[in-house]
Amino acid sequence: MIGHMAKFVSCLALLAGLSAYGFKLPGSGPAPNTYDLSPKSTFDAALPEVKLQLVIEEPSSARGIDTDRISLRPSPLEIKYFAGARWGDLAPRMVQILMVESFENTGKIVAVGRQSIGLRPDFSVKSDLREFQAEYFDSGGLPQIHVRLNVKLIKMPEARIVASRTFDEILPGTGKEITALVQGFDETLAKVIRKSVEWTLREVDAQSRDPRKE
């Protein structure tokens, strides 16, 4: 018993020594701040009402984006991450959830959801999140927020691509603090989501009305 106690005391002394010399212990330090973005809630009132079901697949993305870390690019060929800050989910999954909520907020579609909930959709939306970062090159000191999303509309059940479009937005940041950057992400992504949602609903309506597109 005495031997075990001596080992325990020795371990505590070693950990204290490492901490005193500036070594970071696993799990030590403050927890990162977590940030969420908001769905789009305002749309063109003239959008068509779509009496169909739509599934939103999780966007694909490069490994540097497929993370809950908030990414930045000091140069076009380099990617880094903000310390002490995280998204509330992996970036592609967060975008998927926000797209579903935004489609619901239009009030123009019968049913929309993620592929995991078991809908039997008339159309599926497959997307590729190609840019989702703060960029510090060619920005005059303040970062720019860049979001690019390629969207493909898939006719089901034949899984045929019937339309495709890329939505690309770059907005200047208002500050270097993380809260200002997150606000910039929220505004930039909102523009991309609004345009992609409105485009998708119009395409679905056109596809369902034109027998030549069946």
Least confident of 10-19, 22-31, 78-87, 191-200: 10-19
pLDDT given for residue 141 in this prediction:
77
- What pLDDT, in 10s, does the model give residues 99-147? 999 999 999 999 999 876 677 899 999 999 999 999 998 767 789 999 9
Confidence grade of residue 30 (pLDDT, cut at 50, 70, 90): confident
Q: Give 30's DSSP letter.
A: P
3.30.70.260, 3.40.228.10, 3.40.109.10, 3.40.50.10610: which CATH number matches 34-213? 3.40.50.10610
Number of helices followed by number of strands (H, E) in the chain? 3, 9
pLDDT at 6 over 80: no
3 state SS of 192: helix
- What pLDDT, in 10s, does the model give residues 32-49? 899 999 999 999 999 999
3 state SS of 149: strand
Residue spans of the domains in the chain: they are 1-30, 34-213
Q: Which residues pair with 54 in a beta bridge?
A: 112, 123
Structure tokens at 45: 């009132």
